Amino acid sequence: MTNPILLFTGETTWTQRAAHLAAATARETGAGVLILRPTPVEHLSDLGAGLNEALLPFAEFDALQALVNVVESYGVAVGVELYEYTRFSSGLLSAAEQTNAAAVFAPRPTGPFAALDGLRLWWLRRALRCPLYTLEESEQWAVVSGQTGEELRMTNYELRMKRAE
């Protein structure tokens, strides 16, 4: 199996749409999908301490099961994990690095100063070693049949330049 495609959960409608796109991408590339439910913690020392290990509410458990069903309907291997983080952007980077992700589907990072959100997203895309899909209207991407793992890691611009050659 190739490197997994990470799917960070977020708002329900966004997550359902991202699950379909991640599963379709995984099916075309032979990868699996790892669904991560991000769980914020207050302090860095709290990571892995088990402070947030209470049972999930039934509604969240059912939502995660629905995502698993969506991904499995594409014939793709799927896993689910709770993922603790102190800051969303650094948590996303850490998860992608730990799993050697082929691609990441995650909500757009936001912060206390909305004017910096664009810069935050730019930095995150530069720091990741794989594509980041936030499913914004300005983002144009498609699942390409036969796309190699190397091509999956390229930015859209690099991929267009390679295909133009």
**Tokens in use for 23?**
């599963």
Q: d(Cα 28, Cα 70) in Å, to the nearest integer?
A: 16
What is the set of domains in the chain, with CATH numbers? 5-164 (3.40.50.620)
Who wins on pLDDT, 129 or 50? 129
C-alpha to C-alpha distance for 72 and 82, rounded to whole angstroms: 19
Percentage, residues of the chain above pLDDT 90:
25
Task: Report the chain's mean pLDDT, rounded to a whole number.
Answer: 78
Cα–Cα distance, 6 to 18 (Å, whole number):
10
Of 89 and 49, the one with more pLDDT? 89
Structure-token match 């144009």, residue found: 140
Helix (H, G, I), strand (E, B) or coil at 103: strand
Q: What is the mean pLDDT of residues 51-63?
A: 73
CA–CA gap between residue 30 and residue 45 (Å, rounded): 37
Per-residue pLDDT band at 147 (split at 50, 70, 90): very low
Q: pTM, whole model, 2 decimals?
A: 0.74
Q: Quick: pLDDT tens for 129-144.
A: 888 888 875 555 444 4
How far apart, in whole angstroms, are the C-alpha atoms of residue 154 and residue 31?
16
Position with higher pLDDT, 57 vs 151: 57
